[in-house]
Amino acid sequence: MLETLGNLGDFLGGVGVLVSLIYLAIQVRENTSSARNDSYQAVVSSVADWSREMSLNDEIARILNEGAADYDALDPVEKARFNYAMSSFIRNMENVHAKYLNGAIDDVVWSGWANRVHGLLSPPGAMKWWRLNESAYSPRFRAFVDETRESPELPERLDSWATPERTS
């Protein structure tokens, strides 16, 4: 009888450990998901801050637009400002790309980001800037930028994104 109770105690102890491990696995999974969501939200906020800053500064908006069209037409100070603005945005996009590759962003959400990257780098001046600076980015991100674009309707100038014809 005592042996049976001991075996029952061992069994119940094993069940308790198993339940604890299952609970712990669920908690770790939820924490990982929450951390991924928080990390993604931080990137979205950073991009939103960048966009707001660029939109509220007429001079930098002009420099971005003109530099995207013709990088070589910028004077040295304008090139520096263009470089800082583009580097900031593209570094954020590299971060989003890494999160996508790590499974923190699904395909549907990523496709919009991918189109934005290709759209921003599509104009000739922006592409020249990319070619001059691409070595500062990860090989995986550089490979993505060089892939075929998802959207064939990309602008020659950044301000063409705001035209009424482009509603998608």
- Residue type at 56 in one-letter notation: L
Could you state, in order of their start, the residue ranges of all structural domains in the chain? Answer: 40-162
- pLDDT at position 31 is 67
CB–CB of 140/153 below 8 Å? no
Locate 89 and state its tokens.
Answer: 């945005």
Q: What is the average pLDDT value for the chain, to the nearest integer? A: 81
- pLDDT at position 90 is 95
In percent, how much of the chain has pLDDT > 90? 42
Digit-coded pLDDT (tens) for 106-162: 888 888 889 989 999 999 999 999 999 999 999 999 999 998 654 445 455 555 544
- pLDDT at position 44 is 72
Rounded distance between C-alpha atoms, residue 93 and residue 32, angstroms: 22
Indicate if the pLDDT at residue 41 is higher than 90.
no
CA 48 to chain centroid, in Å, comes to 12
Q: How would residue 163 be classed by pLDDT, with cut points 50, 70 and 90?
A: very low
Which H helix or E strand runs over 34? helix 2-56
Helix (H, G, I), strand (E, B) or coil at 153: coil
- pLDDT at position 8 is 73
